Copies of this chain bind each other. A is one copy, B any other.
């Protein structure tokens, strides 16, 4: 992961309460006016409070969600062990894998902050995919990009030690979710642990290590990355 330094400016800071419209993302731009109208007739808007579950793993997947505002986490739950698959900010789609495969959700999704979503009929999406090749191509692109990100996390979680993994997550949150070095963590220490495949206690201890080394500043949920280069070094050395 290589980040451009100039990316970390307060001006770019993402307000998690900002609104995203489907028309902003390339996928929906590929639709004709007629198709857009059809799709909008097959959607409803839903609001979730922080902590509420948007959909459960194993449930019949009759909908695809678009995050209008807020942040959510997708996670797998198997016999009281949780693994967070990804953190999705406003503008993201949830449940795309269910378009193919067996029509069930392969993970649960929960709101990390108050979140608004559009819920689309999955069949409407499927029909568009089978008719509009540019729409389908965008779906391929979205999925492929997620795949590559997953490969990177896969490597991080299986090949790096705890410090490296947590460094990766802070860099990723800073870069891709908040777009600033100074942000309020939208998740608990337990979430941080489930995101990096470690115990909650370990996550807390490493957070403390980073703090004592002057790499970050933490108080409660507020987090400030003081030395991003050092975090990157830790990420690189594992």
The segment from A137-145, A175-183, A215-223 found at the interface with B is: A137-145
Copies of this subunit: 2
Name 21 interchain pairs, CB-CB below 8 A, sorted by A: A78-B155, A81-B155, A83-B154, A83-B155, A85-B151, A97-B144, A97-B148, A97-B151, A99-B140, A100-B141, A100-B145, A101-B141, A130-B134, A133-B135, A136-B137, A140-B140, A140-B143, A143-B143, A147-B147, A158-B158, A158-B197
Fill in one digit per residue for A107-130: 1 if any B CB lies within 8 Å of its CB, else 0. 100000000000000000000011
Whether A76 and B155, one on each chain, are in contact in the complex, defined by CB atoms closer than 8 angstroms, is yes
Smallest Cβ distance from A161 to chain B, in angstroms?
12
Partner of A97, one of B76, B129, B147: B147
A176→B96 CA distance, assembly (Å)? 24
- Give A residues with C-beta under 8 Å from B: 76, 78-79, 81, 83, 85, 96-97, 99-101, 106-107, 129-137, 139-141, 143-148, 150-151, 153-155, 157-159, 197, 236, 238
11 extra interface residue pairs, beta carbon distance < 8 Å, beyond A136-B137, A139-B140:
A76-B151, A83-B158, A101-B145, A106-B148, A107-B151, A129-B136, A130-B134, A136-B140, A153-B154, A154-B157, A158-B158
B contact residues around A197 at 8 Å (CB): 158-159
Identify whether the interface residues of A are mostly helix, strand, loop, or mixed: helix
Chain B residue, CB-CB nearest to A196: B158
Smallest Cβ distance from A63 to chain B, in angstroms?
16
A129→B106 CA distance, assembly (Å)? 26
B contact residues around A101 at 8 Å (CB): 141, 144-145, 148
B contact residues around A106 at 8 Å (CB): 148, 151
B contact residues around A130 at 8 Å (CB): 133-134, 137
Whether B133 and A132, one on each chain, are in contact in the complex, defined by CB atoms closer than 8 angstroms, is yes
B contact residues around A151 at 8 Å (CB): 76, 85, 97, 106-107
A56→B75 CA distance, assembly (Å)? 32
Max chain B C-beta neighbours (<10 A), residue from A85, A134, A151, A236: A151
Partner of A100, one of B83, B132, B144: B144
B contact residues around A143 at 8 Å (CB): 140, 143-144, 147
Chain B residue, CB-CB nearest to A97: B144
